[in-house]
Structure 1
Amino acid sequence: MNILLINHHAGSLQHGMEYRPYYLARAWIALGHRVRIVAADHSHVRRENPCLNKRSRLDQQIDGIEYTWLNTPGYTGNGPARIQNMLIFLFRLHYFSTALARSFRPDVVIASSTYPLDIWPAYRIARHAGARLLFELHDLWPLSPIELGGYSRWHPFIQVLQAAENFACRNCDAIVSMLPNVRGHLEAHGMAPHKLHIIPNGTDAAEWRDAPAPLSETVANTFCQLQKAGFLLVGFAGAHGLANALDTLLDAARLLSEVPVRFVLAGSGPEKSRLQARVRDERLNSVIFIDAVAKKQIPSLLRAFDVAYIGLQRQPLFRFGISPNKLIDYMMAGCPVLQAIEAGNDPVGEARCGLTVAAEDPEAVAAGIRTLLAMPPAQRKAMGRNGTRFVLENLTYDVLGKRFLHACVSQRQRNVSSVSSLAPNNSSTSIGSSHE
């Protein structure tokens, strides 16, 4: 089967995030299918963008995956330049749609960009090729810019986004979502119940089986000295942005000043310098910042933590569910997890791999840390093993790739029973959104 996946932000191990299209494509290729990913050459989420040298299109192979990069202008932030980047990507995708349909001859076309506007050129390609059409929902647009960005429902751009979502709900053969609680929303916009398949984020188990790359000598020595001094490590790894509620963790650190614990914040992001200044000003001596580590070093970093912290700001959109990639990494590393998130699902509770407390509540976070650190080490390790086992059984891309293929070829499924928020027991189960 030939699978054409359109994702504006798709990356690879070479380019960095977004990784999900890459890992799904590798899983499909391992099962004997041919995959082409179509993406914009410029995306703010990538570590490195491909170089097209003013060409409008570049075709290349990466790890057996066929990539088509379309030339788009650079941008920063979420203003008009980003919208221009989207529109030019869509224009080029429309321009090349007939050629893609004829040369690649897809059996399945997947519209998978964060925003839904790629559904129209994807529909055109599918019609030309006689292919099935899927829509993969990462985040809810236009609901996200309405609820998070304060846009009016009557803003012209919002109206176009809503038209695209409605078109996808009514015209796709199937809809794949990472959000476990979207059924009501999508049905309200025209989706037939049998079309929904919920397939979460996942991980490549092979990357965890191999011996992990060691941490830098400086970081490794720091951890070793802290552990010899009797300190337990509560760690966070990821983007230092407002969404991750790291001020709440610093507030909890202040409340735990008498506890033999050190808080390790690993990563980079727009809020890092401000958080570092706050730690200096408030003399929060229990907090340590380290630079972001390479992807291959993540297992070594996370396995040094006694407890891994994940938090998010309170947002009404989380009623549809969450699926942070970093949580899956924590679970694969065998870390007991403290989750400070209020959402429509509770992945930590589902996997029995830690504790869940209220979001943006320093007292609750501090109490959760006290509870976890007071446990015998064997009990914390058992929680960590629960998380690893859950991911290996349910959330590897080998498993998820097969479930996605089922959505590609399945006929009218009418299983609309209520589903687990995390465990993919059938084609309508799993965990939610794509937050980092």
Structure 2
Amino acid sequence: MVLERNVYTEDGPTLRSMNIWIVNQYAGAPDQPGFTRHYSLARELIRRGHRVSIVATSFHHTLRKDTRLEPGEAWRYEEVEGVPFLWLRTPAYRGNSAARVWNMVSFGLSAVRRSRPEILGVPDVVLGSVPHPFIGLAAERLSRRYRVPFVLEVRDLWPDSLIDLGDVSPFHPFILWMRWAERYLYRKSTRILSILPYAHEHMVRQGAAREKIFWLPNGIDLTNVPSFLPPPEGETFTVMYAGSHGLANDLDRVLDAARLLQNEGGERAIRFVLVGDGPEKERLMEKARQMGLHNVEFRDPVPKREVFRVLAEADAFLLLLKEAPVFRFGASPNKLYDYMAMGRPVIFAVNSPYNPVQESRAGITVSDASPGALARAVRDLASLSREEREAMGRRARAYVEEHHSFPKLAERLEGILQEIVPLRNRP
């Protein structure tokens, strides 16, 4: 515990525990599918002696329903395996509609109005984790209320992601407002954390000071991952994708590649398993039916603590994103580190300068965005010997153990926050 690391001198402590608020609308718990980055970081920081609370919505983005609150409840405090959550009610929505925008606005307003310091304690620092600016604006407002530092964590570069992937005009009034909010948050933040390794190039052009930007990538909680297990023996070579089924994920390319491979011969049949949910899933399932694909299986999302049992069925994994200018700043999807931790080769089909698969020699990189190139990569991987694929998988596991374990990421975050949280003498 960090309490043992607090050093006392005649002038007071030189290192102290902190009360950290993390505001992230989409933060999840391990009993749910989805995003558990902040749960894992919070758990590690709590182990180091800090107090950490997560403010999130009870409406689950993937499941599209309220998962925590009873009818009539506006909020609820809950400790999930030792990690405090303040769940806030927000309106339901489906797809990328006006109702989703209202859901975002509602969360920002509720986070400010229902912050509950009598339960969470007065914060020493407030961290707002965004894709959309309403989260950041709420966190910045809370930091001003309690006169503490504001840390902005950027997971997606909005509005650029909407412009590049959603085909929205950069001159749309809502996009112009979001650009103003982005620049405002860069100016007001004490520190900026980026999940994307090269996002500082964009942020500096938008007015952020380079010296306050730090890279803190996504990671993996290895305590939940089984030790290395070889893939199952069998006549079928299983390629798995586990994650969101959205516009950015380019799963049409998988279906088109599956059609190319469906009628091919070979020593082992190839099948694709797509696990998860998202706004494109129903359309993709209908497309697969119309194409007559019998080598593609769609599965429902599973809670985070169960996902590794499902991943163990795969011989290899798929990571792909649409071609878009925004990915020139890198990509750091959670699913990549889950894949690599399982000790399986990965087909990396993302046009990005940051490529852990290539760096660790843990799979095959596809630079051509065509379905044919993806089909060739799958075929080439399936044709390798079992020993060659296992060697790739072991290199993948070693890479995430060294660079992306949550204890190491939490230690890095702790150091960043300790630099900006003022020391206070204790009685």
1:166 matched to 2:151? no
1:249 matched to 2:267? no
Q: Measured at CA, do residues 319 and 305 of structure 1 come closer, stay the same or move farther in structure 2, by a change above 3 Å?
A: same
1:349 matched to 2:344? no
Deviation larger for 380-389 or 267-276: 267-276
Distance 1:118 1:235 in 2: 32
8 Å Cα contact 2:94/2:100 also seen in 1: yes
Corresponding residue to 1:71 among 89, 93, 100: 89
Distance 2:109 2:290 in 1: 50
Residue type matched to 2:274 in 1?
A
Distance 2:420 2:174 in 1: 34
Tell me by how many angstroms 1:197 deviates: 0.9
Distance 1:102 1:292 in 2: 33
Corresponding residue to 2:209 among 189, 192, 195: 192
- In the superposition, the TM-score normalised over structure 1's length comes to 0.82
**For 1:8-47, what per-residue CA distance to the aligned partner results, in whole angstroms no more than 9, with x for missing partners?**
1222123443311111111111111001111223242357
Q: Which sections of structure 2, spanning at least 5 residues, go unmatched?
A: 1-17, 422-427
Distance 1:101 1:310 in 2: 43
Distance 1:255 1:104 in 2: 58
Tell me by how many angstroms 1:279 deviates: 4.6
Corresponding residue to 2:240 among 205, 230, 235: 235
1:32 matched to 2:37? no
8 Å Cα contact 1:312/1:360 also seen in 2: no
Question: When the two structures are aligned, how many residues end up with a matched partner?
Answer: 398
Q: Measured at CA, do residues 139 and 272 of structure 1 come closer, stay the same or move farther in structure 2, by a change above 3 Å?
A: closer
Q: Measured at CA, do residues 40 and 294 of structure 1 come closer, stay the same or move farther in structure 2, by a change above 3 Å?
A: closer
Distance 1:17 1:268 in 2: 9
**For 1:326-372, what per-residue CA distance to the aligned partner results, in whole angstroms no more than 9, with x for missing partners?**
22111111111111221232221122211101253122122222332
Q: Measured at CA, do residues 382 and 244 of structure 1 come closer, stay the same or move farther in structure 2, by a change above 3 Å?
A: same
- In the superposition, the TM-score normalised over structure 2's length comes to 0.84
- 1:43-82 aligned at under 5 Å gives the runs 43-45=60-62, 49-82=67-100
**For 1:128-169, what per-residue CA distance to the aligned partner results, in whole angstroms no more than 9, with x for missing partners?**
333221000011112222222333334332233222211221
Corresponding residue to 2:342 among 308, 333, 338: 333
1:314 matched to 2:319? no
Q: Measured at CA, do residues 405 and 291 of structure 1 come closer, stay the same or move farther in structure 2, by a change above 3 Å?
A: same
Corresponding residue to 1:360 among 354, 363, 369: 369
Tell me by how many angstroms 1:384 deviates: 0.5
Distance 2:85 2:303 in 1: 24
Deviation larger for 348-357 or 203-212: 203-212
Deviation larger for 358-367 or 199-208: 358-367
Distance 2:132 2:311 in 1: 32
**For 1:166-208, what per-residue CA distance to the aligned partner results, in whole angstroms no more than 9, with x for missing partners?**
1221121110011111112111222111111111111111101
Distance 1:301 1:102 in 2: 37
Corresponding residue to 1:406 among 407, 415, 419: 415
Q: Measured at CA, do residues 56 and 374 of structure 1 come closer, stay the same or move farther in structure 2, by a change above 3 Å?
A: closer
3-state SS in 1 of match to 2:168 = coil
Residue type matched to 2:223 in 1?
A
3-state SS in 1 of match to 2:270 = strand
Corresponding residue to 1:23 among 21, 36, 40: 40
Corresponding residue to 1:175 among 192, 195, 198: 192
1:263 matched to 2:271? yes
Tell me by how many angstroms 1:70 deviates: 2.5
- 1:363-382 aligned at under 5 Å gives the runs 363-382=372-391
Deviation larger for 18-27 or 139-148: 139-148
- 1:78-97 aligned at under 5 Å gives the runs 78-96=96-114
Distance 1:231 1:41 in 2: 40
Distance 1:71 1:279 in 2: 36
Residue type matched to 1:300 in 2?
R
Q: Find the counterpart in structure 2 of residue 207 from structure 1.
A: 224
8 Å Cα contact 1:302/1:333 also seen in 2: yes
Q: Measured at CA, do residues 116 and 239 of structure 1 come closer, stay the same or move farther in structure 2, by a change above 3 Å?
A: closer
Q: Measured at CA, do residues 65 and 272 of structure 1 come closer, stay the same or move farther in structure 2, by a change above 3 Å?
A: closer
3-state SS in 1 of match to 2:197 = coil
Residue type matched to 1:8 in 2?
Q
Q: Measured at CA, do residues 31 and 155 of structure 1 come closer, stay the same or move farther in structure 2, by a change above 3 Å?
A: same
3-state SS in 1 of match to 2:392 = helix
Cα RMSD after superposing both structures = 2.8
8 Å Cα contact 1:245/1:360 also seen in 2: no
Tell me by how many angstroms 1:77 deviates: 1.8
